[in-house]
Amino acid sequence: MNNDEAHGAKRDEQLAPRVDGILSSAVRRGELLAADCPSREVLRHLTSRWGVLVLIALEDGPMRFSDLRRKVSGVSEKMLSQTLQALEADGFLDRHSRPVVPPHVDYNLTPLGHEAAERVRLFADWIEDNIGRILRAREARTPEDKGHPTAGADRLQPAE
């Protein structure tokens, strides 16, 4: 276990008793389909357009903001900043500032962030493996179908 992992594990141990004492077992477990479930906000951060891509980008190791912005093509500075703040608040990444001129800030995954990145990577891999089927499903819809999410499903061809 490296120093960052040890720090993250220690932080988790310190937070666990405080959180466990506050939350009921149902809330700790998460009732994801319930409107007031706290897991929903975390799910929104992890599965947002940029959250998934940032986690995947950081799987290879720490990166500076500008390097992340280049790697995650298309993200604006504002959205990247908001995404990093949300993922940091949820404990998925750490921000390390170095006292140099110009300022040098690195972002890296925490142990919890590595676990989450592995899971969203599987989801992203599944999408890439099935992109042909997904695009064919889109193409099978007629202009009249566009307003109806399930319309056109009967015209889909089975996977080859």
Q: What is the pLDDT of residue 157?
A: 53
13 versus 51: the higher-pLDDT residue is 51
pLDDT digits (tens, 9 = 90+) for 58-80: 999 999 999 999 999 999 999 99
Say if pTM beats, i.e. exceeds, 0.95. Answer: no
Does residue 129 have a pLDDT over 80?
yes
Greater model confidence, 21 or 83: 83
For residue 88, what are its two tokens?
Answer: 């940091």
Query: Rounded CA gap, 69 and 66, in Å?
Result: 5
pLDDT of 86 reads 95
From CA 26, how far away is CA 36, in angstroms rounded? 12
Looking at the DSSP assignment, which residues form a beta bridge with residue 96? 106
- Cβ neighbours around 105 below 10 Å, total: 14
More confident residue, 149 or 68: 68
Torsion of CA 129, 133, 135, 136, to 10 degrees: 160
Confidence label for 87 from pLDDT (cuts 50, 70 and 90): very high
| Alpha carbon distance, N-terminus to C-terminus of the chain | 45
Residue with structure tokens 């142990």?
A: 111
Greater confidence, 136 or 160? 136
By the 8 A CB rule, do 8 and 94 touch? Answer: yes
Confidence of residue 33 (pLDDT cuts 50, 70, 90): confident
Q: What pLDDT does 40 receive?
A: 82
Domains and CATH numbers, the chain: 3-140 (1.10.10.10)
